A = this chain, B = another copy of it.
Amino acid sequence: MPAEFDFIDWLRRRQKPSALVQLPAGDDLAVVNWPAANLLLVGVDQVLDGVHFDSAVHSPRAIGRKVMNRNLSDCAAMACLPAAAVVAAGLPLGCSIDYAKELYLGMEEAGGQFGCEIIGGDTGSWPGKLALSVTILGRSAGIAPITRSGAKAGDQIYLTGKLGGSILGRHMTFRPRIDQARAIASRFTVTAMIDLSDGLSRDLAHICGQSHLAAHLESAKIPIHEDAIELFKRDGIPPLDHALNDGEDHELLFTSPNEIPADLATRIGIMAEGSAITLDNHPLPPRGWQHQL
C-alpha cells in the first residue's frame, strides 16, 4: 500500500544539489549554510480548501503553484530574493500519491522560477479537507528589506499592474512581482511596500497605520483590470469598486519620494500627515477581504 514515507522518498530524490543547502529534506531538519551579510526574512502563508481555492474546481498543480506564489509575493513585498521553502500538507484521507505529487510539482514549478527550492516538509493525511502551508526563507541580497512603516508625508503612492476581478482566475495564476520589486528598489528610494492580497483599500490602510500617515488617492489614476470590467457586467458593482476592494491581485503597492517611470509603476496618490484615507477627497473605508473568525 502506498504510504507517507514513499512520498517523502520521492521528495528526497527530487532535491537538487545547492551551495546554500548543506543537508536537504529527509532528516529531522534541513541544514542551510546561511550566506553571510544577508538578512534572513521568514514568513508563512497557507491556502485552505473552500477559502483560497476549491478542490472540486482547481487542479492540485494550480493549488500548489498558488500557495508558493503567495509566499514569493511576500518576498516581492520586502524586495528580497527567495532562498528556500518548507511545506506542511494536511491531505484528505484517500488522497492519492499522484494528487500529492501534483501539489508538490505545482509548488516546485512556482518556486523554481525564482531559484527557490523546497528543502523540508511534513505531509499527513487526516479526516479533513486539504490544508497547505508554505514557509518561505528570503535573503536581503544587497537590498535592505522594505517594510510597511517607512512611508513619509509627501511620498508618492505607486502601484504595479492593474487591479480588480482576480476571482475570475488571476487569483490562481498571478506571477509574483519579485523582478519588479528588485528593479525598482535597486534604482529608486522605496520607503514602504506591501503586496496587494486583501485589496487596495485595506492594504493601503496597513501602510498608513504602520507609517502613521494619511493617504490621498485619485480615482482617475487607478489602473483597472479588464477582469474588473467583466465582473461589473455580471454583478453590477462598478469596476473601480472592484479595483479598490477585491483581494488577491498580488501587485505591489509602494511609496517613494522619487518619480518612478510609468513603465515600472503607476502613480495613484500621495502620502500626507494625518490618518485618513481618501479617494478624490472623500473618505475611503477599508473594504477589502478579511477573514472573519
Residues of A within 8 A of B (CB): 1-5, 7, 22-23, 26-34, 36, 38-46, 48-52, 74-75, 77-78, 80, 84, 86-88, 90-91, 95-97, 100, 119-129, 131, 133, 135-138, 140, 145, 147-149, 194-195, 210, 290-293
Contacts and interface: CB of A to CB of B under 8 A. Distances in A.
Nearest to A12: B210
A251 to B, nearest CB: 13
Contacts of A74: 28-29
A77 B31 CA distance: 13
A83 to B, nearest CB: 10
Contact of A293 (B28, B34, B96, B293): B96
Interface centre among A33, A43, A78 (most CB of B within 10 A): A43
In order of increasing CB-CB distance, the 7 nearest A-B pairs are A88-B133, A135-B135, A28-B77, A29-B43, A48-B126, A4-B291, A131-B131
B48 A124 contact: yes
A291 B91 CA distance: 10
B290 A131 contact: no
Stoichiometry, as copies per complex, reads 2
Given A44-B120, A46-B133, 13 more contacts: A3-B291, A27-B147, A28-B74, A30-B41, A32-B40, A32-B41, A40-B40, A44-B86, A45-B88, A51-B127, A97-B293, A123-B293, A128-B128
A222 B113 CA distance: 50
Contact of A34 (B34, B75, B126, B210): B34
A27 B150 CA distance: 12
Contacts of A2: 293
A242 to B, nearest CB: 22
Of the listed residues A26, A97, A119, the one surrounded by the most CB atoms of chain B closer than 10 A to its CB is A26
Given A46-B88, A145-B23, A125 B29 contact: no
Given A1-B292, A122-B45, A126-B49, A145 B88 contact: no
